[in-house]
Amino acid sequence: MEEASKVSRYLYTLIILFLIWLALTASLDEQELIFGFVLSAIVAAMTYPIFTTRGLANLHPKRVAYAIAYAPYFLWAMIMANLDVAYRVLHPKRPIRPGIVHCKTILKTNPGKLSLANSITLTPGTITLDVDGDDYFIHWIWVPDEVLHAESEEVHVEKASENITRPFEKFLKVIFG
């Protein structure tokens, strides 16, 4: 992957920081917009080397569309996981079968791997305990029989990955490359 130009990286960082400013202030007052833009420009000048390597290429329409689609998908997954955990907690027999499972990711970039780990942890019932290269070790509140009693480590990893990481990866692979 070729690194983007300094100008492209600076402009991307400026855009993202200014959008964060807009989201946090929730104001379109002229003075706040000017101050937010100036502050974003100063911070972008100091941080663009560590903020991105791709620059404006991150704003490719396909990536942006997948990022927009990922937000409701993730929220839906979070809602469903919340309901599942609530059921398990409120059920008189407390049907839980906790365990630590090993998953592998297909993601290659560090921001993609970080987003996957955060998505897993923010989804109730799963917590990312460790990430080592492409290997994720995840505590899962309900380990299904097919994973728990897999005939080999490879099958265990594949079944666990199918259930936990793959649903998020289909979006994150496009967003983060």
- Please list the pLDDT of the chain residue by residue as tens digits (177 residues): 556 799 999 999 999 999 999 999 999 999 999 999 999 999 999 999 999 888 999 999 999 999 999 999 999 999 999 999 999 999 988 889 999 999 999 999 999 999 999 999 999 999 999 999 999 999 999 999 888 888 898 998 999 999 999 999 999 999 998
| Cα gap 150→155, rounded to integer Å | 6
pLDDT for the residue numbered 147? 87
What per-residue confidence (pLDDT) applies to 78?
97
Name the strands in the sheet holding 135-140, side by side, starting at the edge strand that comes first in the sequence: 99-104, 135-140, 126-132
Place of tokens 């960082």: 13
| 139 touches 102 (CB < 8 A) | no
Supply the pLDDT for residue 53: 86
Quick one: tokens of 30? 């002229």
pTM beyond 0.95, yes or no: no
